[in-house]
Structure 1
Amino acid sequence: MSRPSDPHSADGQFENHSSELLRFLTRQVKCEELAADLRQETWLRFRRRASGEEIGNLRAFLYRIARNLIIDYRRQQKARPIEEEISIELVSAQPGPERAVSDAQRLERLQRVVQDLPPHLRQALLWNRLDGLTQREIGERLGVSESMAGRYILKALEHCQQQMDPQP
């Protein structure tokens, strides 16, 4: 359909109505790609019929083929099971309900374990993990050496690990 044809040939006659037919199909099916496919099928059916018989009103004939194709397409869509139409798997970034409950319970347990720490260990751990303070900064705030602040953090972490994941 891209190269010029003899206007009296079947291809030339189809080309005269091709753009108009595409606009009609696009309005009907609301999808340019599907409309283009239906126009192509219209041309194929037209070629099969046009080879052996005289067609009086070509434009009406093409529109009748196109309407029949639209009807066939809509019937196919209605006949397809709903599961086939929904081919996208819906995946949520949120955890499922079981996971959300489990995570909430684990968080509550961790909060209790942290609260059970001696105050200096708890404070060192919170400053380090939540506020991002270095061992030196924690040592200065607590009035201890940098290495002692590091030991406080390590002890706090070990305690939390032991309480959260007890060994059998």
Structure 2
Amino acid sequence: MPDPGVQQQLHHLYSHHHGWLKAWLRKKLSCQHTAADLAQDTFVRLIVSDKTPLPGQSRAYLTQIAKGLVIDLYRRQRLEQAYHEWLLQLPPIDIPSPEQQAIALQSLIQLDKVFDQLPARVRETFILSRFDQRTYSEIAAQLGISVAAVRKYMLKATQACMEQL
């Protein structure tokens, strides 16, 4: 629980900027419900971060958090759309149950976050290996790196995935 001074600052921020932030998000997203959700999520992130903006920088700080949440929302929507398009290509007998679909989608979202945090070369190496079915030698030649570097990058990517799951 934040100390009373921080609680008072958070209360002030919320009471003076929540309406403005929600209106700003509504304009960006064209959906009042999603805007309301992201406005709340912005303040939750602020509380969890245990940081408060400097005086005079409140709106800029809140906007920065909200923009990150909007980007996360769009990424998640694109991932969900791609997953649903993939499901449509499956024969009806192979379509997973709604519960299995939800689990798979949640796993994809978690892995997407992991991949986003990996260095570009590590991410590219992993994708070439696992999704394009390239051999380590082919990846090394394509990226202009050694096979040992491919092994190292694959280990790093695999470890990151395992830590997340």
TM-score relative to the length of structure 2: 0.42
Q: Which has the larger share of helix?
A: 2
How high is the TM-score relative to the length of structure 1?
0.41
Higher relative contact order (CA 8 A, sep 6+): 2
